[in-house]
Amino acid sequence: MAARSGGLAAAPFDLGFGRIRLPPLLWMPSCARAGAGRGGVGRVVRCCCPAEKAEDCWLEPKKKVGTRRARAEALPSLPFPSTRSKRLSKQQDFSSRCSPKSSAPESRDTPPKRDTGIASEKEWGINLLDEMVNEFGTNEDGSTWYREDGEELGDNGYRCRWARMGGKSHDGSSEWKETWWEKSDWTGYKELGAEKSGKNADGDSWWETWKEVLYQDEWSNLARIERSAQKQAKSGTENAGWYEKWLEKYDAKGWTEKGAHKYGRLNEQSWWEKWGEHYDGRGFVLKWTDKWAETELGTRWGDKWEEKFFAGIGSRQGETWHVSPTGERWSRTWGEEHLGNGKVHKYGKSTTGESWDIVVDEETYYEAEPHYGWADVVGDSTQLLSIQPQERPPGVYPNLDFGTSEPRKDDPPVEPLK
């Protein structure tokens, strides 16, 4: 398996994973800097950190994930237009530069970016203190801030350490909140997570959560690591917003699953995207993508494809389609059968009468292993793996609940934005 098989469509027709051209769409909310804090006025406190140099926060274009993902880019990722300044403070890990005592946490009021996948531990900069903190204060501009830390203990050695911080402008028009946590128990379960939300004076709002989990699979007894992220942003000035959910699962034998579900809207236009990848660790691979979009006038269009391979034998198939406001439908379907002997059967047809059915000499190419797998995720999860559970007393053994293999759902207290 060397050269690509031409799943990207060979002459005489453009049959492959062709890029679906959707109209310009979503803009991200402008990043107006939120003030800090909780209602209640405390002592005037100035952070020990110097003010960060402001920078433009227009979002970068979509980044392709993976080494060979022939998926269409549904829409460009651009920011929401806003009458407010497009300047904000650079998001930094305040904990490495500020003492928690008598120091306001640096505002982390930046909204999430589209199509950036699942962030790393380093990017989140989670830093839980060994001491319990419950502080609040008022800055010179009237904005307020708070930080509090806590710990919860439960059955079976369950332990959850958490930190919650936030801020609010003097008039309450801007606000940000962020929560960090780590969990563990005597079964070997470990979890590291974060959640943040915010809003600005324009009415733009956002929310993001991130989590990675280590646990033992109940059927295979293999260690598994799962990483996930959810992100959303909504404009306060127009009917625009977006949502994304990302998930990755890995086990020690090479079994891997990855996927995403995305949705966006800008006024009269909406779009959706779903994709998934599955590797069984023994050579079988399944990949698929489904994208579609529509306008309020009734125009709809989309593109989807799927590939399955094992030991050099497999198939690819897909469809591109369009529906007019009057209901007139056009579509083109295509397929490839890779026979494992250097021969590829290609076929397809469209509603306009074109068709083809040929066998060509062509090498087969596909990814039998994920470009980012078990060894990579273990190397990037050092903070998760270093979580220390409660000490187990002699003679006390963990209660293994085999009713479910799902990670814990109980999260630390997170106060929603009012």
> Is 114 inside a domain boundary?
no
pLDDT tier at 264 (50, 70, 90 boundaries)? Answer: very high
CB proximity list for 399: less than 8 A, separation 6 or greater = 155, 156, 187
SS3 326: coil
CB 136 within 8 A of CB 145: yes
Q: Average model confidence (pLDDT) for the chain?
A: 77
Backbone angles phi, psi at 144, to 5 degrees: -120, 160
Q: What is the reported pLDDT for 396?
A: 74
70-79, 176-185, 377-386, 403-412 — which is least confidently predicted?
Answer: 70-79
| 178 inside domain | yes
Query: Which whole number is the average pLDDT over 123-151?
Result: 91
pLDDT at position 78, please? Answer: 31
- Token representation of residue 9: 């469509």
Q: What whole-number percentage of the chain has pLDDT above 90?
A: 63
pLDDT at 293 over 80: yes
Domain range for 299 is: 121-386
Residue 48: inside a domain: no
Give the residue-averaged pLDDT of 149-163.
94
Task: Write out pLDDT tens, residues 157-208.
Answer: 999 999 999 999 999 999 999 999 999 999 999 999 999 999 999 999 999 9
Structural domains of the chain, count: 1
Q: Is the torsion defined by CA of 257, 65, 116, 238 positive or negative?
A: negative
User: What is the DSSP secondary structure assignment for residue 16, as one 8-state letter?
Assistant: S
What is the radius of gyration, based on Cα positions, of the chain?
Answer: 25
What's the CA gap between 44 and 145, in Å, rounded? 11
Tell me whether residue 317 is in a domain: yes
Q: What is the pLDDT of residue 106?
A: 67
* Residue-wise DSSP of 158-197: -EEEEEEEEEE-TTSSSEEEEEEEEEE-TTS-EEEEEEEE
Residue 135, in any domain of the structure: yes
pLDDT (0 to 100) of residue 35: 34
Residue type, 146: Y
- Residue 154 vs residues 159, 188, 213, 277, 317: alpha-carbon distances, Å: 6, 15, 18, 36, 51
Q: Where are the beta strands (DSSP E) in 43-129?
A: 55-56, 78-79, 87-88
Q: Is residue 175 part of a domain?
A: yes
Give domain status of residue 11, yes or no: no
Strands 78-79 and 27-28, by their bridges, are parallel
pLDDT at 392: 83
